[in-house]
Amino acid sequence: DQQVKQNSPSLSVQEGRISILNCDYTNSMFDYFLWYKKYPAEGPTFLISISSIKDKNEDGRFTVFLNKSAKHLSLHIVPSQPGDSAVYFCAASVGGSEKLVFGKGMKLTVNP
Amino acid sequence: NAGVTQTPKFQVLKTGQSMTLQCAQDMNHEYMSWYRQDPGMGLRLIHYSVGAGITDQGEVPNGYNVSRSTTEDFPLRLLSAAPSQTSVYFCASRPTVLNEQFFGPGTRLTVL
């Protein structure tokens, strides 16, 4: 049973607009969440994270929102750039442990 | 710093053969992990280590062995390769003070 779900496999947006990537989780013990970006033939790269004691974390163009009651988090990219085109993975852990559980990923395409 | 390096980049094995995937990091990170990524499955944790001499199982450990004799190296051994082990393998590391992991470029393994 998938504990971290990224239900939309792909998203296409225009350059300059907002990209919203969603992630749902089922394990209420998860208390640390991360987003990774992955280009083809490369390893994932850390993007941004959030602890369950917060409901929002910002880093430049990237903002992650956490709704604990809904077990839902989202990644907002504003403004979107063509270089943001990649596969984005949501991941979760308990207590920041090594046992990261990843979603299946979502392919974002930003069109010029 | 070279970061996390993995060798080989590509490997083809026959069923029943054994091999070792190499992973090294030069950042003096305490934590190291091995993941596999299958199409449509996201990344799944195979084994991880919290320091030299200490390893533990992840979500999908069967068919794989690991050891951690030094801080820098964390090899993954396939004792008797099976077609179900065809996948892309990623090694990752992180320091104790950070929750985000740094990934290597991956090894694409095909078992015939």
Tell me the pLDDT tens digit for each residue of B25-42: 999 999 999 999 998 888
Q: Is the pLDDT of residue B45 over 80?
A: yes
Contacts with B5 from chain A: Cβ below 8 Å: none
Query: B99 vs A42: CB contact, 8 Å cut-off?
Result: no
Q: From CA B25, how far away is CA B45, in angstroms rounded?
A: 18
Alpha carbons B67 and A57: distance in angstroms, whole number: 37
| Confidence grade of residue B90 (pLDDT, cut at 50, 70, 90) | very high
Question: For B91-108, what is each residue's pLDDT tens digit?
Answer: 999 998 888 899 999 999
pLDDT given at position A105: 95
Give the Cα separation of B43 and A39 in Å (integer): 14
Give per-residue pLDDT as tens, B49-83.
999 999 999 999 999 999 999 999 999 999 999 99
A51 to chain B, minimum CA–CA distance in Å? Answer: 10
Chain A residue numbers with beta carbons less than 8 Å from the beta carbon of B48 are 98-99
Query: In sequence order, which residues have a C-beta less than 8 Å from that of residue A38 and are 6 or more positions away?
Result: A44, A45, A86, A87, A88, A89, A105
List strand residue ranges (DSSP E) for chain B, in order. 4-7, 10-13, 19-25, 31-38, 42-51, 54-57, 64-66, 76-78, 87-94, 102-103, 107-111
Token pair for B75 = 């090899």
Tens place of pLDDT per residue across chain A (112 aa): 789 999 999 999 999 999 999 999 999 999 999 999 999 999 999 999 999 999 999 999 999 999 999 999 999 999 999 999 999 999 999 987 888 999 999 999 999 9
Residue A54 sits at the chain B interface (C-beta within 8 Å)? no
